[in-house]
Structure 1
Amino acid sequence: MQTTEKENISNESKVKLKFLDEYIYPLNGNFKNLPIGGLSGIDYDFENDLYYIVSDDPNNPRYYTANIDIKNSKINKPIFTDMFVFDKKAPFYSSTFLDLESILYLNNQIIISSEGNIYGHQKPSIFSSDKKGNFLSEFTVPNIFLQETRNNGSFESLTKSFDKQGIWSANELPLKTDGSEPDFPQTNSPVRFTYYDQNTRQATKEFIYELSALTQPRINGNDMNGVSDILEYKKDHFLVIERAFQNENIVKIFDASITTNSTNSFGTKSLKSEKYIPMKKELVLDFNDIKKFLKQNKIDNIEGITFGKNLPNGNRTIIVISDDNFQQFGPQLNQFILFELIEK
């Protein structure tokens, strides 16, 4: 199924994201002798008003806890309160390539996704730990993700199900048996939203989300577009971050929904020859429209999304964060961007 940027997308989303504020965390910040950077996933513990933020540093795989004070629709400086480094000598971690991308706090446990390293024959994984980083259990990932994942295109995204009875994952790029990486002007690039039962750790259902085409012709192999994070904001409705790079970051948030007609692709070995109905997809926000409000008029490498504290009017807030790649590719930002979620 070939899709363009305009196909299968409408501007009739039932939600709106209103920009409120941005905070840029200072570069070269350190916490417990390790640099603060590579912030690739974030989640919020409402009960304790505490944020969990994961860093994708494979040398020192870790996550932080932080306080993010929101007053008068503004972000005060995020305060990092603790850090937990995974022990790479421990049995599970020693045999798992920890390229940590997404983090959840659920039922007093930490749940994390790792992209692995496909070129190095290191499988992607989803696992849980206690709040000190000690391994608890691994989710059973369907074999197709272990066999057909593109390198650096695996489990970039996790979200808690709205009823907190399970989690959803999304692969960043299409599986090799499902479709191509996004191209211009049309593309056939489906990814899979997979649901895992929290108690059994087993995948039970799966739905298809179609990535948008690139917005201009591909110049080199670095041009890409993929899902960098997801957030289920009500049952079967997700905020989906698509992050493209073509000389600059092109970031959009879509409202994707599972309808009664959406095809359950669980167990399907290849989507290339299958007829299917994808999730419904509606544009919520093009970050290019808020550039003028940002301190450096720049959209960086947006990788994480979570709810924040509710506003006085009762509306929920949304926080997105960017991954500065530890400045490996030149100057980048650790952005914290605050939105009001308005349901129409």
Structure 2
Amino acid sequence: MLKRRTVLVATAAAVTAATGLAAPAVAGPPAPVGASGYAFTLLGTVNLPGQLSYGGSRVAGITGADYDPASGTLRLVSADRSNRAPARFFSAQLTVGSGVCALRLVGGVHPLTRPDGTPYPATGPDAADPQAIRYDAASGRVLWASAGDRAAGAAPAVRAATANGAFVAELPRPGNERVDVPGQGPQAGGGYRGLTLSADGSFVASALRWPLLQDGATPVRMTFRDSASGEPLAQFAYQLDALPGNGVAELVTVDESRYLVLEQAPLPNGGNSVRLYEIDPSLGATNLLSEEAPAALAGADYLSLQKRLVLDLADLRIGTVQNLQALTWGPELPDGRRSLLLVSDNGSVGNRSTQVIAVAVALS
């Protein structure tokens, strides 16, 4: 059993003999990029081996990541639907400083289990498709999102688990996210992908990847739940960029009112279009859970969330951008900037690597 594996994400000036992995050398520090209020600076990138194993499980298909600053723990959830090993997440230690981001897989492998303590099956209405993970420091629990499987009758779900992955609760879902109504509800492959807690921890926000079947081509629904009860309180429409295959990959919280939305779309050349948009629900949008709201958005009148592009990953000039699905704030940097980590889903395919990108973010 692998007890410890250290992988370094380094700046261009840093090299690690332990793994031989480092960002390519460049002339001088990279210049910040981004929109007003945000300055993003690349710290480094690294590709984790496609066959990397820990605790008897492949560290692959990473679709969610979350960093706990109090403990320094980074949680990584795999989209493996119990095909190669039980649905699971990994714990690691993450440190950032002096130009190096070190990730040590030392915290264990945690199977996600059903109420009876058994693993989720790979198929059927009880199947799980883990896509996002967040740690709730107030309760000490882990929240995770399953995309569901429309064909199998498995609806998207946000679930609470212990820190070791044992089932605690399933949060109520809006009625419009059922998968048993013909022509309505989430598309196949379009279930939950984004998950985050509000800055004060009072709300849990989730986002579908693609529009509901009754909603047209671009409006994705984001739902805000009460953290204590899990009850849905509000739901808003977020308009995707009109790119083939484009969808929401993840959400992160910026402050009391602002969130970042990660959009990802495959490109014909084999790379990906990956962009970060800022939204602020407090600026006003139609609550789609209200009695006055349209049941179907296609052709209806409603106000969507306003979005603002703050980063196109292509502007970081890192070469080919992989299928980035995981997004989390990391440790605060010594100069006061925040670190941001993005991790790709390699699809658990052969030797395909997992791309990790570390970015410094100055907010103003």
TM-score by length of 1: 0.85
Bigger shift: residues 268-277 or 303-312: 268-277
CA contact (8 A) 2:41 2:316 kept: no
Q: Which of 49, 54, 63 pairs up with 1:26?
A: 49
The structural deviation recorded for 1:299 is: 0.7
The structural deviation recorded for 1:68 is: 2.0
Report matched runs for 1:1-344 at 5 Å.
13-59=36-82, 60-87=86-113, 90=117, 93=120, 96-106=126-136, 107-147=139-179, 148-180=185-217, 189-214=218-243, 223-247=244-268, 248-267=271-290, 268=293, 269-291=295-317, 294=318, 297-327=319-349, 332-344=352-364
Bigger shift: residues 73-82 or 40-49: 73-82
Unaligned regions of 5+ residues in structure 2, if any?
1-33, 180-184
The structural deviation recorded for 1:318 is: 0.9
Letter in 1 for 2:321: I
CA contact (8 A) 1:158 1:167 kept: yes
Alpha-carbon distance in structure 2 between the residues aligned to 1:199 and 1:62? 25
Partner secondary structure for residue 288 of structure 1: helix
> For residues 150 and 266 of structure 1, do their structure 2 counterparts lie closer, same or farther at Cα, with a shift above 3 Å needed?
same
Partner secondary structure for residue 244 of structure 1: strand
Matched pairs, number:
312
Letter in 2 for 1:199: A
Partner secondary structure for residue 309 of structure 1: strand
> For residues 118 and 13 of structure 1, do their structure 2 counterparts lie closer, same or farther at Cα, with a shift above 3 Å needed?
farther
The structural deviation recorded for 1:53 is: 0.9
CA contact (8 A) 1:259 1:279 kept: no
Letter in 2 for 1:237: R
Alpha-carbon distance in structure 1 between the residues aligned to 2:97 and 2:157? 37
CA contact (8 A) 2:111 2:119 kept: no
Partner secondary structure for residue 325 of structure 1: coil
Encode CA deviations 1:172-213: one digit per residue, 9 max, x unaligned.
100111112xxxxxxxx1111211111111110122211001
CA contact (8 A) 1:300 1:332 kept: no
Alpha-carbon distance in structure 1 between the residues aligned to 2:253 and 2:199? 6
CA contact (8 A) 2:90 2:105 kept: no
RMSD: 1.9
Partner secondary structure for residue 68 of structure 1: strand
The structural deviation recorded for 1:236 is: 2.4
The structural deviation recorded for 1:14 is: 2.5
The sequence identity of aligned pairs, in percent, is 24
Encode CA deviations 1:14-69: one digit per residue, 9 max, x unaligned.
32322211122222111111111011001111111111110010122000101122
Encode CA deviations 1:73-118: one digit per residue, 9 max, x unaligned.
3222443421111346747946621100000110200111101111
Partner secondary structure for residue 178 of structure 2: helix
Alpha-carbon distance in structure 2 between the residues aligned to 1:232 and 1:309? 15
Alpha-carbon distance in structure 2 between the residues aligned to 1:298 and 1:78? 25
> For residues 340 and 313 of structure 1, do their structure 2 counterparts lie closer, same or farther at Cα, with a shift above 3 Å needed?
same
Alpha-carbon distance in structure 2 between the residues aligned to 1:44 and 1:319? 9
CA contact (8 A) 1:25 1:77 kept: no
> For residues 281 and 250 of structure 1, do their structure 2 counterparts lie closer, same or farther at Cα, with a shift above 3 Å needed?
same
TM-score by length of 2: 0.81
Letter in 2 for 1:74: V
Alpha-carbon distance in structure 2 between the residues aligned to 1:15 and 1:290? 14
Letter in 2 for 1:38: G
- Of structures 1 and 2, the larger Rg is shown by 2
Alpha-carbon distance in structure 1 between the residues aligned to 2:228 and 2:102? 37
Higher relative contact order (CA 8 A, sep 6+): 1
CA contact (8 A) 1:205 1:266 kept: yes
Letter in 1 for 2:146: S
Alpha-carbon distance in structure 2 between the residues aligned to 1:35 and 1:91? 20
CA contact (8 A) 2:250 2:325 kept: yes
Alpha-carbon distance in structure 2 between the residues aligned to 1:165 and 1:61? 28
